[in-house]
Chains A and B, each alone.
Chain A
Amino acid sequence: MTRISRVLAFITVVLLSALPLAASGSTDQAEEPITIRILTRWSDQSGASTAFRNRLQSFMEQNPDIIIEDLSINDESSFGEKLKVLIASGDVPEIVQNYGGAGNRIYFESDVYVDLRPYLDDDPEWAAGFVPLFGEWEFDDLPGTWGVPYELFAISLFYNRTIFEEAGLEPPETIEELMEQGEVLKSAGYIPISTGVADNFRGGHLFTNLLIKKHGPEFVERLNRGTASFEDQEVIEILTLMKTMQDEGMLGENITAVNYAADNALFGSGETAMHFDGSWFLSDGALSRIDAGVVPFPYFESAPQNRNIIMGGSAAGLALGASEDPDKLDAAIKLLKYLTSIEHFEYIRDFTGGGVYPVKLPPTDNVSSLTVEYADTFSAAEAFVGDIGNGVPLPQMVEVTRNAIQGMFAGAISPEQAASQMAREHSQADFN
């Protein structure tokens, strides 16, 4: 045996002898911190997301025995796909942003998430803090509460005050006024209401708003239960109106190539007079560059009874991924309560200077006037309705609806064909 071989053999023996010692020694040390993972869409640079991340940091400082691994990703599609990969591999993060609804029911039924009802019942103070917005996570025929609301939203119509004042216009109350004002705004060189559908949810939101304002929540409920079809005249009428709006230049040019960020930029740069959006838009930089106001999404003169039917509700909630490790579950519950506490939302509100939240916050003067205006847009709400398709028991219904609308705007299919495309998918749902 050479000298080098002897040295190597000695080192190997020493290392092997040390391993059991190291292993046994670890039991004497302090307990390892628990690592829990959180997956949300709040990873962008908006005020609300920055405040959210600040709170995660604060939680870790207050709980040094818990480490949070933030897997968040802002893009909606990427978020959804990342989550599905984790679900498929049985590796769901301990806390997940969740939208609830029929599309998520399959996961609730399969116990991918934890039923939060026992935890809410055990902590009445926490439960009582929420505005009653649990509809997306509770089902008549499936016991349990599968998530808690985090974002409250209503789609409202933001408008550029300066443009409207220059044009001598008041923000529209009805769709008919909106269409008339469109001509004035176009001749003044503005896009009336930019609606880029490269991110297909924008077309979906326009569709939902117009459909509920014209035909009310009853028709949406019939679609959800399968007693109405997407090929019904009610749907085709709305799709035709949307196509007319596009053809008349109400929504901007080449809208199939314009994405949400570009839409925001157009509003912030004063190129579009109006922009429909939800509460998350309140903390957007676009609003800081112009004098913006906000009004309810217009209703149809022919359907005044639906004036206070609002597209909105709980935009996003938080759900607990099922974990077999009781320590992780306890840590996740602790974090969940922290992130949905009154104190948490007060911090977010103060940090962003506004916003609306799914908990009963004490009043404050420390919010922007736009937030107050925004809250007014749905103060008279009689019902909140979510995305068309979200209540249909078919995970892909929302996506198919949005794609068909995008195809219609691209000129690939007519409103009737778009309706047929939706109806074909809708017919595959199991409504029993």
Chain B
Amino acid sequence: MKSKYAPFLMVLPLLALYLLFVFYPVANAVLSSFFSWNGIASSPQVFVGLRNYIDLAKDPRYFRAFANSGRFIIGSLLFLMPLSFALGGIIVSGVRGSRVMKAAYFLPVVLSLTAISLMWRSILYPNGGPLNALLEGMNLDRLAQNWLGDVRFAIWAVVFVNMWTYAGLNMLIFAAGLVSIPQEIWDSVAIDGAGKVARFWYITLPSLKESFKAFLVLAVSGSLKVFDIVFIMTGGGPNGSSDTPATLLYFQAFRFNRFGIGNAIGTLILLFGLAWALLVNRAVRKLEA
């Protein structure tokens, strides 16, 4: 006999795990953002209302950190998206060597982010590092820069490495979308005599709405919470110029003992990420309508 509670009982274990390991920590972090705490287990948390958020609003470092997230988003939308789309197109095109290309483009995704960051830190090392040595060897000395130690370049250098790292993963998102377009559609547009531009504009792009949606949500939420590459390559420096909200959260909590502020930053990252996901969903629904 089927019980009406059976479905609920079946999802209960997973729901319990979700509540325990996702909902509870998130809710606790949000709640803690209204408290001040010095990071000592035996010290009480003191309720301060919105003070942590007001402190954030007054401090230019937080605006700079969110502006840096904006740079990651710009990099993702202007460069990473077309690049990943193009790579996805290449690997599903069946051109000679596409299997090798698929593996090569995907390789950075399987490498450790620490290894990638250290590798690029060496490549970008200004005093005799490979990139500057190459530029100097090509008589392009003027282009050789202190890539990670100059406030003008540090954040963009990290944005570039981030794109290099994730191009392969996003390539797969677009490749999956491309291969899911039914062959019948291509056959019918061929009969209709549609050109390459028309095929791209009227078939390929609309069919990849879900891929673009997935990319946009992942890219923006990833840009808001990017931490490891920045932490290893620049440590947020020089003087915080390449800090992102996630590195600031870390520094505020673990270096400056301001756990309330850290939680407030974490809450803002969560809210911005959620708002963006909702916005993208809504935009895609509008397009479908």
Partner of A258, one of B127, B237, B259: B127
Q: Bin the interface of chain B by size.
A: 20 to 34
> B182: shortest Cβ distance to chain A, in Å?
49
Taking CB atoms, residues of chain B closer than 8 Å to A254 are: 126-127, 146, 149
**Cα–Cα, bound, A229→B238 (Å):** 24
| A56 at the binding interface (Cβ < 8 Å) | no
Task: Tell me if A407 and B40 are in contact (CB < 8 A).
Answer: no
A71 within 8 Å of B (CB atoms): no
A410 and B41 within 8 A (CB): no
Question: B230-262 vs A: 1/0 string, CB under 8 Å?
Answer: 000001011111000000001001111101000
The B157-201 residues at the A interface (CB cut-off 8 A) are none
B38 within 8 A of A: yes
Closest B residue by C-beta to A396:
B256
For the complex formed, measure the closest distance between the CB of A115 and the CB atoms of chain B, giving whole angstroms: 15
Are A410 and B254 in touch, CB under 8 angstroms? Answer: no
Is A308 in contact with chain B by the CB < 8 A criterion?
A: no
Chain A residues near B38 (CB, 8 Å)? Answer: 106, 110
Q: Is the CB of A410 within 8 A of B235?
A: no
Residues on A with C-beta less than 8 A from B259 are 88
Q: Does A84 contact B (CB under 8 A)?
A: yes
Residues of A within 8 A of B237 (CB): 198, 200, 256, 403, 406-407, 410
Which chain B residue has the least Cβ–Cβ distance from A198? B149
Within A185-223, the residues touching B (CB, 8 Å) are 198, 200
A399, B248: Cα distance in complex, Å: 13
Q: Chain B: interface secondary structure?
A: loop
Partner of B151, one of A81, A84, A200, A412: A412
Collect the chain A residues with CB atoms within 8 Å of residue B257's CB: 84, 106, 395-396
B255 pairs with A81, CB closer than 8 A: yes
CA distance A140 to B159 in the complex (A): 50
B80 at interface (Cβ–Cβ under 8 A)?
no
Residue from B42, B146, B253, B254 in contact with A110 in the complex, judged by beta carbons closer than 8 Å: B42
* Cβ B255 vs Cβ A399 within 8 A: yes
CB-nearest residue of chain A to B251: A399
Is B39 in the interface zone, CB < 8 Å from A? yes
Contact present for A89 and B241 (CB under 8 Å): no
Query: What distance in Å separates the Cβ of B219 from its nearest Cβ neighbour in chain A?
Result: 28
Closest to A404 in B: B239
Does B150 touch A at the CB level, under 8 Å?
Answer: yes
Closest to A83 in B: B254
**Complex Cα spacing A403 to B256, Å:** 13
Residues of A150-165 whose CB lies within 8 A of B: none
Partner of B238, one of A111, A396, A412: A412
Contacts of B250 in A (CB 8 A): 81
User: B179 CB to closest chain A CB, in angstroms?
Assistant: 43
Contacts of B239 in A (CB 8 A): 403-404, 406-408, 410, 412-413, 421
Residues of A near B253 (CB, < 8 A) are 84
Bound-complex Cα distance A255 to B38 (A): 34
| B116 interface residue (CB < 8 Å to A) | no
Task: Judge whether A85 is part of the interface by a CB distance below 8 angstroms.
Answer: yes
The answer to whether B238 and A406 touch across the interface, beta carbons within 8 angstroms, is: yes
B129's nearest neighbour on chain A, judged by CB, is A257
Contact residue among B41, B146, B235 (Cβ-Cβ distance under 8 Å from A89): B41
- Contact (A87, B41) CB under 8 Å given A254-B127, A407-B240: yes
> Please, which residues of chain B bring their CB within 8 A of the CB of A87?
39-41
Contact mask B39-72 → A, CB, 8 Å, 1/0?
1111100000000000000000000000000000
A117-159 Cβ-contact flags toward B at 8 Å (1 or 0): 0000000000000000000000000000000000000000000
A229 to B149, CA, bound (A): 28
Q: Does A112 count as interface, using CB distance less than 8 angstroms? A: yes
A411 at interface (Cβ–Cβ under 8 A)? Answer: yes
Residues of B within 8 A of A85 (CB): 254
When chains A and B are docked, how far (Å) is the Cα of A410 from the Cα of B127?
A: 15
- Give Cα A253–Cα B129 distance, bound, in whole angstroms: 13
Minimum Cβ distance to chain A for residue B70 (Å) = 19
Do A257 and B41 have beta carbons less than 8 Å apart? Answer: no
The residues of B that contact A111 with a CB separation of less than 8 Å are 42
Q: Kindly list 4 other residue pairs between chains A and B, CB separation below 8 angstroms, not including A87-B39, A257-B125, A257-B146.
A: A84-B255, A257-B127, A399-B256, A407-B237
Q: What are 19 A-B pairs at a CB distance below 8 A?
A: A77-B255, A81-B254, A81-B255, A84-B253, A85-B254, A88-B39, A110-B42, A110-B43, A252-B127, A253-B126, A256-B146, A256-B149, A256-B238, A396-B256, A399-B256, A409-B238, A410-B238, A410-B239, A421-B239
Identify the 10 closest CB pairs spanning chains A and B, nearest first.
A407-B239, A90-B41, A256-B149, A410-B238, A257-B149, A254-B126, A396-B256, A254-B146, A412-B151, A81-B254
